[in-house]
Structure 1
């Protein structure tokens, strides 16, 4: 008798092959970083190690020989890989010391900060779930637009961290301003990282919970007399089943993307260590840090799979992943909010466009007045003019990036489980490091920053797409279509995609503030738009040092970013 291979075993093998293949490709790219970066580190290392020597061709050649760069990429890659397999992360080009002990200390700090940030995020999520759970038990589906979560998730972590630092460390003295010596040092950084993350996930989960409450099985359970507590837990299981992949991706992103917060609070974490190593052209240190992030991504991916198995149990055996359809239904209030937010932002832009954003003809840090509604920056330039002119570059580039990641996410997500490993690995790549590599090829400009963000930002959308596609294909009317003579292409374009694209489009819009912030971070590090460009991220980074003395130089671009986020989220809710 012919034996049938169980779908669960097939899915496991596909996931394993996907992860192994993607990890091997990225390991190859990491190992080739000394050549892919396009920069020569000989002069920097000569100055760091042998300051008394002149930068002559002979001395630079000696440095290349000492680093082993004269032996060619494949020899060096093989030596690096074999050392990695034996637990050797390599040695620093700058100090010559082994990288392992220092990086593991930094990694442990980042993991601790990530764990505390997740605790804060879970508290925010719990607060946001109170209303949809309460309304669901009363069969009054939550129709809110989630604008509060949109505003919170659009706050730059470095801005929120700076505000917390000034208010609670400098003014009130409740917490230490910088360092890493006890749990008190982690409170403010964890809040700065956890609140935006919790607001984002709270929005996704509250939508999924509201959608689960509207499904027919809930009414059946109620008629069967199922207690409210059991019903509520079942709804949460239903909602969480499709979001665990998003949670897993964000756990890695929290660790990889904590550079700004670690810089503000002088935390010796992995992100700050990578930034310093990249700036010093210490390629082995950057390679080792990226390997640790890949290891974290693999562990978190396994834990997410275990969590899905615990939640779904036997449902996974058939290969279907039940994902509730978010009940993203807008109301009149949602539409009014979108119009108000867009109107205020449009008013700021209309009032500032006729003004000169580059003329420094005002007093430095001049306070707002009738003639200067948003005040002047540290160079005496009109803040209103700079915010208005920066809207075009900031929002325009962010929209292009979101559109590109939307298309990539849909295409990769359609590959299903074959793309899981690639999604997890790409999500572990810090945008900063990708930005450095892209800038080495294209030069520091807005296009290079946009490419760097697009390379790393499609992973959450692809993961969400894969989950939704699996759920849609498991629906009875889709499974019956082949019996009616419906081909695979027609099934995809007229059955699966129409059910998936609106939700992923809304998810992409929710990511718009994050994309703008990533572009701003690259601009702050000199890898994106260059001064004197009025790009909003540059405005925030230029004004952050004057936050206590002249808060308007920071609050104005931050307000514009929040208004754009609220308008985008409200509009997407209305369309849903």
Structure 2
């Protein structure tokens, strides 16, 4: 069996497994759906055994797991997503309505992303057209890319919506309601796209054809367009992942701005245990992600042409400028600020209530003020580091171990990795919350399920490279055992670089956990988790904005640390090789 066929079969198997999990949500949830439906239909009716049995018969829940999956799949083929357990209406119109809103928002966000990417890449294009091979705005792009959508949405809501009053902060009445959500989703996406292109352009401008064109008198504009087209085929798959990321970002952004899109509908269905509506919305989100990946593959083949559609048109390593002294010290400075804030906060009690001091302004007794229950914000910030950063370390270790295991089985893991890339952490968090309920364990599992593919791809590349080394061929020739070669040569060559890669992804994992906490899918009250603190403070942001800015600044410092570490990791990989 060829490697391509094995990868295709594993991809189809992973997709079938995810689809089956969605179909089996009523059975996997561990709760009695009949009780939810009975309470939705009549809050006053007693949940007697006979009443619950009647509801189960109506819903078909007494058919068992396989029967339930078969009935759901058969109805799905006919285009029937069932009826909502809460409202009793058909699910399909609700899904289509939310899909239309989400597609409009994603379209506007993509326009914002392209504008941001163009602004980031413009200096590199101008310099390259003039013959200077150097990137332009990589640092700025990295900063924009590291800001999570839910954090940017909250800041935009506070500054432009509440303080300035320039734009509406909720609803979906017209194009003006689209501005703030599109900015919150499009700016980070534009930072990612801009950084990818900015890193690839210097290598394209440094190739021989660019020098020959300049010597032949071809205008700088034509050279810049050709270099951009030259860099795009290798970047298109990454751009597809950016679109997939928009589906996950839409859940948080739609929640912040009360936009009736697909993400907010899915989140509401998960919290109300309306499983048919949750099945339809998650299936639509999964379809959007897979469609984005398929379109990216087709566009890449179109850019390469028929002769190169199966080739890897790789560029040389980007030209990385030597970091300044300030940039080298930036990770240390950011880590020191976070450590100081956390250490100071650990001295206080995060659960001590003071109803007389609710929403107090910052003072010597409470340097960051108090929340709506009179709890010290700085103390909650310090103790919340364990729930935000400590759990992220555990998730990072699990992802690292998964990556090492799957790195030796690339053909088996490819399909699962493709499906995992098509599911943002928020979507997986919604599914896990529907099964296990919201909580830290469920949020950790959700992030771990989607954070291993980049590490596994890195491990697989290192395994392939190490196995092909000449010295290992000599070891096999003299009779070295495969287990000895694996433990003494291959595993040590893979474990170290992948571990450093995992450390670079630690702040991003912490931000993903915070986003689930912000949506109510992670740590639950009264836990002092940063994302949950930011969500709780939104209710009184007009009266006490400092309570929202404190966790926002902590998350911003964490995002800045992610930027600094990723830049250092990029520079190391370019200088030392993969």
8 Å CA contact retained: 1:547, 1:554: yes
Match of 2:352 among 350, 354, 359: 359
Alpha-carbon distance in structure 1 between the residues aligned to 2:110 and 2:462: 28
The correspondence of residues 127-166 of structure 1 with structure 2, limited to 5 A, is: 127-137=119-129, 138-142=131-135, 146=139, 148-166=140-158
Match of 1:536 among 507, 513, 530: 530
- Which residue in 2 is equivalent to 1:117? 109
Alpha-carbon distance in structure 2 between the residues aligned to 1:417 and 1:309: 22
Structure 1 SS opposite 2:84: coil
Match of 1:286 among 261, 275, 278: 278
Match of 1:182 among 174, 179, 192: 174
Bigger RCO (CA 8 Å, 6+ sep): 1
1:348 to 2:320 alignment: no
Q: CA deviation at 1:142?
A: 3.7
- Which residue in 1 is equivalent to 2:575? none
Match of 1:261 among 235, 253, 260: 253
Match of 1:552 among 531, 546, 555: 546
- Which residue in 2 is equivalent to 1:74? 66
- Which residue in 1 is equivalent to 2:576? none
8 Å CA contact retained: 2:252, 2:519: no
Q: CA deviation at 1:225?
A: 6.7
Match of 1:251 among 205, 226, 243: 243
8 Å CA contact retained: 1:114, 1:190: yes
Alpha-carbon distance in structure 2 between the residues aligned to 1:108 and 1:186: 13
- Which residue in 2 is equivalent to 1:276? 268
Q: CA deviation at 1:113?
A: 0.8
Match of 2:392 among 398, 401, 423: 398
Alpha-carbon distance in structure 1 between the residues aligned to 2:288 and 2:316: 29
Q: Deviations over 1:22-52 (max 9, x none)?
A: 2222222222221112121111101112345
**Which range moved further: 562-571 or 353-362?**
353-362
Match of 1:37 among 26, 29, 39: 29
8 Å CA contact retained: 2:519, 2:532: no
8 Å CA contact retained: 1:519, 1:528: yes
Match of 2:292 among 296, 300, 304: 300
Structure 2 SS opposite 1:241: helix
- Which residue in 1 is equivalent to 2:331? 338
Q: CA deviation at 1:85?
A: 1.7
The correspondence of residues 341-490 of structure 1 with structure 2, limited to 5 A, is: 341-360=334-353, 363-406=357-400, 408=402, 412=406, 419-429=413-423, 431-432=425-426, 434-435=428-429, 438-439=432-433, 444-459=438-453
8 Å CA contact retained: 1:277, 1:283: yes
1:313 to 2:328 alignment: no
- Which residue in 2 is equivalent to 1:100? 92
8 Å CA contact retained: 1:398, 1:515: yes
Q: 5+ unaligned residues in a row in structure 1: which ranges? A: none
- Call closer, same or farther: CA 1:190–1:15 in 2, change over 3 Å: farther
- Which residue in 1 is equivalent to 2:201? 209
Q: CA deviation at 1:456?
A: 2.4
Q: CA deviation at 1:315?
A: 6.2
Q: CA deviation at 1:106?
A: 0.8
**Which range moved further: 518-527 or 117-126?**
518-527
8 Å CA contact retained: 1:405, 1:457: yes
- Call closer, same or farther: CA 1:372–1:445 in 2, change over 3 Å: same
Q: 5+ unaligned residues in a row in structure 2: which ranges? A: 477-481, 573-578
Q: CA deviation at 1:213?
A: 5.0
Alpha-carbon distance in structure 1 between the residues aligned to 2:456 and 2:376: 41
How many residues are matched? 561
- Call closer, same or farther: CA 1:131–1:408 in 2, change over 3 Å: farther
Alpha-carbon distance in structure 2 between the residues aligned to 1:304 and 1:420: 17
Q: CA deviation at 1:379?
A: 2.4
- Call closer, same or farther: CA 1:572–1:261 in 2, change over 3 Å: closer
Q: CA deviation at 1:569?
A: 2.7
**Which range moved further: 29-38 or 210-219?**
210-219
Alpha-carbon distance in structure 2 between the residues aligned to 1:422 and 1:226: 47
Q: CA deviation at 1:535?
A: 1.9
1:198 to 2:195 alignment: no
8 Å CA contact retained: 1:315, 1:321: no
Q: CA deviation at 1:245?
A: 2.0
| TM-score, scaled relative to structure 2 | 0.84
